[in-house]
């Protein structure tokens, strides 16, 4: 696809969006995509709602980003609650759209949904995509430098990540974290287990504290105490939160790049400002 060829950044970047459901949200994503495109992302990705709750919105958003913004948009596909037939239909749709990259996930069982569906773990989805589509898709999977919250322990979680890569993943994107050492350690351990695929750090820019706290509690990402205490102390002073957050996240990215990270995947939450502030610091 036609993303801008020359990036002003010192590393390849990708941007993650969620599928908008209203016209207002669509307009917001259009504005965000237009601004972030200037940073020449390698690709952008579109999340998939738990239990298929964005079954039509994800493909619609992928199509919109590809056709109207000329971005290489990759769908996320989570298998929890889905059947083989449903997943097969989506794979066919994405093949027809010309998507060559897919982010394959288990997802989480939404409250009220009783059945796991035809797949139990993301490794089974990766295997299924490989069998159904051979080498058509470049498959990214998720990994967790600070451990997935449901894993029995960090070693078992690493074993499960290794199994996902052996099932046919071409690359991995991490859950976000603010401790660079957790990432470096995780990559070293994965390499020691024979994993050779790129492991790209997922980075969450900081724009407000309450939401970040909520997300982090849910996904098991640690906000280091010194960061949390400063963010708390800014209270409603959004400008200071944004400026401090951009400094902290840009410094994290610099460390990751200097330590050999092969790129940065930004969780944008469909807003440009916090991600732009980090990109500007990295380019400056």
| Interaction residues for ligand FAD, span 130-169 (CB under 6 A) | 142, 148, 150-151, 156-157, 160, 164
Which of 109/244 has CB closer to ligand FAD?
109
> Does residue 73 sit in helix, strand or coil?
strand
Helix (H, G, I), strand (E, B) or coil at 98: coil
Interface with ligand FAD (CB under 6 A), residue from 14, 32, 47, 268: 47
Q: Is residue 61 part of the contact set for ligand FAD (CB under 6 A)? A: no
Which part of the chain contacts ligand FAD (CB under 6 A), choosing from 5-13, 89-97, 115-123, 225-233? 115-123
How are strands ordered across the β-sheet holding 171-174? Answer: 199-200, 171-174, 138-143, 101-105, 73-78, 43-46, 13-17, 264-267, 202-203
Nearest-approach distance from CB 266 to ligand FAD, in angstroms: 11
175 or 270: CB nearest ligand FAD: 175
Nearer to ligand FAD, 200 or 279 (CB): 200
Active site residue 16: yes
Shortest CA distance to 75 belongs to which of 16, 144, 135, 1? 16
Closest to ligand FAD by CB, 58 or 207: 58
Q: Kindly name the residue from 16, 127, 140, 146 that is annotated as catalytic.
A: 16
Q: Do residues 66 and 72 touch, judged by C-beta distance below 8 A?
A: yes
Closest C-alpha to 82, from 48, 133, 111: 48
Report the distance separating Cα 247 and Cα 180, nearest Å: 15
User: Cα dihedral angle (149, 154, 159, 160), rounded to 10 degrees?
Assistant: 0
By CB under 6 A, name the one of 175, 207, 270, 275 that touches ligand FAD.
175
Sign, CA torsion 255/40/134/80: positive
Instruction: Report the interface residues with ligand FAD, using CB under 6 A.
Output: 47-48, 50, 76, 78, 103, 105-108, 121-123, 142, 148, 150-151, 156-157, 160, 164, 173, 175, 202
Any idea which residues carry the catalytic annotation? 16
């Amino acid at each position: 696809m036609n993303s801008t060829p020359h990036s002003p950044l010192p590393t390849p970047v990708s941007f993650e969006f969620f599928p908008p459901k209203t016209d207002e949200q669509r307009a917001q994503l259009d504005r965000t995509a237009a601004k972030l495109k200037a940073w020449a992302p390698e690709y952008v990705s579109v999340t998939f709602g738990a239990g298929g709750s964005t079954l039509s919105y994800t493909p619609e958003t992928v199509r919109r980003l590809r056709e109207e913004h000329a971005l290489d948009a990759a769908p996320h596909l989570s298998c929890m609650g889905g059947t083989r037939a449903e997943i097969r239909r989506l794979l066919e749709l994405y093949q027809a759209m010309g998507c060559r990259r897919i982010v394959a996930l288990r997802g989480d069982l939404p409250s009220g949904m009783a059945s796991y569906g035809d797949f139990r773990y993301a490794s089974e989805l990766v295997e299924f995509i490989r069998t159904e589509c051979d080498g058509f898709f470049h498959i990214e999977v998720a990994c967790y430098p600070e451990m997935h919250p449901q894993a029995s322990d960090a070693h078992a979680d690493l074993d499960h990540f290794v199994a996902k890569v052996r099932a046919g993943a071409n690359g991995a994107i991490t859950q976000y974290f603010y401790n660079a050492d957790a990432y470096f350690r995780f990559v070293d351990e994965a390499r020691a287990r024979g994993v050779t695929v790129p492991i790209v750090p997922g980075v969450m820019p900081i724009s407000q504290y309450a939401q970040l706290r909520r997300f982090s509690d849910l996904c098991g990402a640690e906000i280091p105490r010194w960061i949390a205490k400063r963010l708390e102390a800014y209270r409603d002073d959004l400008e200071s939160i944004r400026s401090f957050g951009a400094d902290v996240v840009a410094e994290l990215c610099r460390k990751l790049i200097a330590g050999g990270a092969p790129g940065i995947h930004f969780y944008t939450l469909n807003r440009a400002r916090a991600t732009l502030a980090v990109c500007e610091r990295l380019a400056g």
